[in-house]
Structure 1
Amino acid sequence: MENNRNFFITIALSVLILGVWQYFYVLPRAELQRKAEQVELERKAAEQKAAQPAQPGAAGADAGVPAQGAVPGIPGTAGASEASRDQALAKTQRLPIDTPSLTGSINLTGGRLDDLRLKDYRLTVDPNSPIIELLNPQALPNGYFAEIGFVGNAETGAVPGPDTVWTPEGNQTLTPSTPVTLSWTNDKGLTFKRTIGVDADYMFTVTDTVSNAGTVPVSLSSYGRVTRFDKPLHAAAYVLHEGLIGVTGEEGLQEIGYSKIEEEKQVSPGKSTDGWLGITDKYWAVTLVPSTKQPFQPRFAFFPDGRPRYQSDFLTDAISVAPGQSATVESMVFAGAKEVGKINAYEQDRQIRQFNLLIDWGWFYFITKPMFWLIDNLYKLLGNFGLAILATTVLVKAVFFPLANKSYASMANMKKVQPKMLEIREKYADDKMKQQQAMMELYKTEKINPIAGCWPVLIQIPVFFALYKVLYITIEMRHAPFFGWIQDLAAPDPTSLFNLFGLLPFDPSTVPVFGHFLMLGVWPIIMGITMFLQMRMNPTPPDPTQAMIFNWMPLIFTFMLASFPAGLVIYWAWNNTLSVIQQGVIMKRQGAKIELWDNLTALFKRKPTPAE
């Protein structure tokens, strides 16, 4: 029974660690996210009723902030001036954006991308809920935008910046097949022509051409920034990075959380000739990809003055333009969902260094990425991520069947020598050293590996953690339905035994502290039953303490896993079922008695009293 003890202690410790992390990090995060979604729904409803009057905002610049080159300040940072999105959009001239994936508009003031919504993603699983608003005008409390501009000098005169009003060439709509062209000319004879293109997904290409009609050569620098005035309402989880991010220079990947940048105010990596930088959320991101033809200085910053804001920006080395000549600078802006296939395609097709790191695969990416690849390809075949998870479990079982076969065979052999093991324990009850030596001799004689039974669970642990990570970080799993009441495999089972699965008008999750554990849905109960049956395939340990753990572990795990993503609970239940079948077949082949029924009936038999 030493084998069984090690087996289940390994499971217990692994899931306990994940359970503690789930309770103290993920659940508070999920609750705040739910509240944020509710606030957003209420805001949208209020906007539809009536727009509130605007309040004029004060102008300002990036005063008292970390210095870096001459990236211009942002006017009007004293406070949000609009409560309504429609009202804010109506304040400036705009060109519409319409692609298969995006809808929104380009702000002609600054040439900004500050109105962008994702057609394929909604706030909740309700198909009628609002679509995701990724970028928002600066005048809103949740202002968030991407901007490309120039930094000049006395020779160049004024150059396009945050307050420049560009002139469009005709009434245009930006689509994948119809780029738009903007222009602006200053008093020194410099003409700036900007062409903005977009693909069918989430990548914008901004091509700026500077023509010098003056009599003297000029030099100017290009800048880009992603600026955000708010941050996620929920705290970042340890398993996932959210905040400022980039891959530039020799430093490579830079991940800077909101708290860290608030403390340090700025982080300036070394100059770079390639890479990308921006701001990432769990499922969405906005990043800049500077031109590889000109070295640039990247920076990550937090500006506490006026309206606190977070910014990832770059400033290129100066570009010279001789009289009668022109120069072109091309930058790209990614703004959209972090879909794995599209992110990988951008990295390969557009030669963006390590763009795949925009998705936080974690330290164990060598397990997590293959796990996602397998599930995603099975999904394309089966049409349902839940079925893909079940199929993945079968394939993993098949791959490791030879090892599991040896493990279960060893466990069956141990069951055969159980009487000899009990005899040794009784004979050397007072001498643990001799007892251990006799046990080892018995294992050697019978050719038994006492730790063989641990291999199936040791294999299961990395698969379990990899699946957890995949469910948690990949947008493909967001709002992915299974069957019946499971409409989101990345969220816990919404049913609960404590309100009779919805028959009673009571929400167990509202109970303070323990509410999440009371969300004991159908699938966690199924998982608990399958775990109970799996454990009953083996005899109850003779040690009372081990026996108590043996009996209570399935119940504890049932409550603990109730708050985990439904996809993970379904995987565990299916894995337990396959393990029971597999172990039963192997034990029968080895001639060992399957004690499942005996162990179950023994639970309900009256225990004899000492007097009897």
Structure 2
Amino acid sequence: MNDQRNMILAIVLSAFVLFGWGMASDKLFPQHKAAPQASAPVTAPQATPLPGAVATAASDTLRNRTVVLAATPRVKIDTPRLAGSINLVGARIDDLVLRNYKETIKKDSADVRLLSPSGAQSAYFAEFGWLGEGFKRPDSTSVWTADKQVLTPDSPVTLTHDNGAGQLFSIVVSIDKNFMFDLKQSVANQSAGTIAIRSFALLSRAGHSPDQSTWTHHAGPMAVFNGAANYDLDYKEMDKGETLSKNSTGGWLGYTDKYWLTALIPNQQANVAGRFTLSGPERYQADITPAAPTLLGAGKVLTNETRFFAGAKEISLLESYQNEGGVTQFDKAIDWGWFYWFEKPIFYTLDWLFRMVGNFGVAIIVLTFIIRGLMFPVAQRQFRSMAAMRVLQPKVKQLQERFKDDKATLQQEMMALYQKEKVNPFAGCMPIFIQVPVFYALYKVLTLTIEMRHQPFALWLHDLSAPDPLTPLNLFGLLDFTPPAFMALGVLPILLGITMYLQFKLNPAPMDPVQQQVFSLMPWILMFVMAPFAAGLQLYWVVSNVFTIAQQKFLYSRYPGIKVESEKPASEKTVEGKAR
């Protein structure tokens, strides 16, 4: 056993942590999989089918979105960050685009569209209404009257509907300057009898999200029930008929994509029933309603309030709604995973650096120097160990030749030698293990947080959250051709391989020929492995390699014993003596 073998072991274990932990942790630490609750069966949405809850599926006849929007009366939505309209037929928020976000990095790219009306491609909408008995309830074909033509943060809109049978329904819709709607649903019972009634809010989505769940993050149905985040369900499971129904005190439910979220948020002190169901082929529904109906007597008014979030998963905004708006566990809309306690500080540091320097690429470089600077004492230890191990190599080689047919004795003699010379063969592995959580945290930050989306660096790097676009296969951008991801070997991955090769060349060469081959191939293998990853992550690794090379040069000058080839006893050439 020697330091190079330990290094290989460290790299293998590090690769497991980086690429396998996400999958293994779901089994070892299933924090997402909440145990079934022993609450009473939910009768609210299940007993009575919700009206108007079906969106047009991909197999149905679809019309142009503009034609669909023009077919019904609407109230315009106009805020600094949202544009769209409310459908007065059915009281649906079914037309919404995000003004501050583009579909692609192209200059003429359209704004991101989040919601679309039923009958158009990718129908996705929120609807609000009532359930109950003893009255005529409005449905998806009911026409509502609005007191204003435009909804703005300073101008709420009141929708009203008279069923002609003694009940007057109203929905007061307001919106803040970001992505949160507030809907106060009221019903005035002007009849002579008592009615059993409760409000509902639903989300209906046709087709899967373009973002698929992976081992690093969840995309699809999501809820917070009784204070615990629930990621138990995905679209594929719903296609097989699986559903989720729970009673909860407060909480919220909706659909989360990689960067976007829609969520229905009831009163956080209310007892509610939430449910995810399949309302048709690839027709997904999330709904929430009070757990029990209210008996509303003659002349009485019932009001329930529901908030509706539809927008980007900006970390500071989600935390603001959680901490100041009282929305339970709202920051869990971002699937940080098991290492959230470490990933968030990395994000906060990187975001603060970005605000200081104005460029995320520069911020990543500065973060790299900070991390490497903090690790410098560990690097010194590593190099002391490498120096001592290099001095001991002649003695180790003698032992290997002497006990080549007795592996057990060889291991004992080598360990005795390390103990005698006070050398720790594992010390050289420490920097790798320390870097693994940093590397993984940065990977999650770059791939999950919308703050990194479409952030440019310099030259050809216009999106640090996407892979490096320049590759020899398209003559580094001269050809209008995008190769498959597994073949897209960009400039940064190539630099990563080169810098890692130079870094390994500066290390003492392993005495084992097999280990030499492994270390000679590893930079080029990792070059291909890293090619599909975010350019920001590749940038971090390249800069870290360059910094490590510079550290190696500096520390070689301080510990020249690492280059000693003499076979004199190590005690005559101790590293500490050289350091002094």
TM more than 0.5 = yes
Tell me if structure 2 keeps the 8 A contact 1:243–1:255: no
Deviation at 1:168, TM superposition (A): 0.7
Letter in 2 for 1:131: D
Tell me if structure 2 keeps the 8 A contact 1:141–1:230: no
Partner of residue 473, structure 2:
498
* SS of the residue 1:272 aligns to: strand
Deviation at 1:324, TM superposition (A): 2.7
Partner of residue 554, structure 1:
523
Return the alpha-carbon distance in structure 2 between the equivalents of residues 529 and 123 of structure 1: 34
Which sections of structure 2, spanning at least 5 residues, go unmatched?
A: 23-44, 565-580
1:160 to 124, 133, 138: 138
1:98 to 59, 75, 78: 78
- Give the alignment's TM-score, normalised by structure 2: 0.88
* SS of the residue 1:115 aligns to: strand
Letter in 2 for 1:71: L
1:125 to 97, 105, 111: 105
Deviation at 1:574, TM superposition (A): 0.9
Compared with structure 1, are the counterparts of its residues 523 and 423 closer, same or farther at alpha carbon in structure 2 (3 Å cutoff)? same
Letter in 1 for 2:350: I
Return the alpha-carbon distance in structure 2 between the equivalents of residues 107 and 506 of structure 1: 42
Task: Please say if 1:309 is aligned against 2:287.
Answer: no
Return the alpha-carbon distance in structure 1 between the equivalents of residues 395 and 344 of structure 2: 47
Deviation at 1:252, TM superposition (A): 4.5
Task: Please say if 1:522 is aligned against 2:491.
Answer: yes
* SS of the residue 2:232 aligns to: strand
- Give the alignment's TM-score, normalised by structure 1: 0.83
Letter in 1 for 2:468: D
Return the alpha-carbon distance in structure 1 between the equivalents of residues 558 and 160 of structure 2: 80
Tell me if structure 2 keeps the 8 A contact 1:101–1:202: yes
Q: Deviations over 1:269-321 (max 9, x none)?
A: 2x1220000111111111100124542211111123xx541011112122343
Deviation at 1:557, TM superposition (A): 1.4
Letter in 1 for 2:114: L
Tell me if structure 2 keeps the 8 A contact 1:492–1:564: yes
Partner of residue 346, structure 2:
371
Tell me if structure 1 keeps the 8 A contact 2:145–2:161: yes
Return the alpha-carbon distance in structure 2 between the equivalents of residues 370 and 243 of structure 1: 26
Partner of residue 51, structure 2:
72
Partner of residue 11, structure 2:
11
Tell me if structure 1 keeps the 8 A contact 2:92–2:128: yes
Tell me if structure 1 keeps the 8 A contact 2:219–2:257: yes
Task: Please say if 1:582 is aligned against 2:551.
Answer: yes
Question: Within 5 A, what are the aligned runs for 1:73-88?
Answer: 73-74=52-53, 80-88=60-68
Question: Within 5 A, what are the aligned runs for 1:329-340?
Answer: 329-340=304-315
Identity %: 40
Return the alpha-carbon distance in structure 2 between the equivalents of residues 67 and 220 of structure 1: 15
Return the alpha-carbon distance in structure 1 between the equivalents of residues 278 and 546 of structure 2: 52
2:299 to 312, 321, 324: 324
Tell me if structure 2 keeps the 8 A contact 1:152–1:158: no
2:384 to 409, 430, 449: 409
Task: Please say if 1:573 is aligned against 2:542.
Answer: yes
Partner of residue 114, structure 1:
94
* SS of the residue 1:417 aligns to: helix
Return the alpha-carbon distance in structure 1 between the equivalents of residues 331 and 66 of structure 2: 35
Deviation at 1:122, TM superposition (A): 1.1
Which sections of structure 1, spanning at least 5 residues, go unmatched?
A: 23-65, 510-514, 596-612
* SS of the residue 1:256 aligns to: coil
Letter in 2 for 1:544: P
Partner of residue 514, structure 2:
545
Return the alpha-carbon distance in structure 1 between the equivalents of residues 70 and 481 of structure 2: 42
* SS of the residue 2:150 aligns to: coil
Deviation at 1:552, TM superposition (A): 1.5
2:125 to 141, 145, 154: 145
Compared with structure 1, are the counterparts of its residues 145 and 267 closer, same or farther at alpha carbon in structure 2 (3 Å cutoff)? same
Greater Cα offset, 174-183 or 312-321 = 312-321
Tell me if structure 2 keeps the 8 A contact 1:413–1:590: no
Letter in 1 for 2:50: V
Letter in 1 for 2:523: P
Q: What is the number of residues matched between the two proteins?
A: 540
Tell me if structure 2 keeps the 8 A contact 1:75–1:162: no
Task: Please say if 1:564 is aligned against 2:508.
Answer: no
* SS of the residue 1:246 aligns to: strand
Deviation at 1:414, TM superposition (A): 1.5
Return the alpha-carbon distance in structure 2 between the equivalents of residues 558 and 76 of structure 1: 45
1:478 to 453, 462, 465: 453
Task: Please say if 1:291 is aligned against 2:267.
Answer: yes
Structure with higher RCO (Cα < 8 A, 6+ apart): 2
Greater Cα offset, 422-431 or 138-147 = 422-431
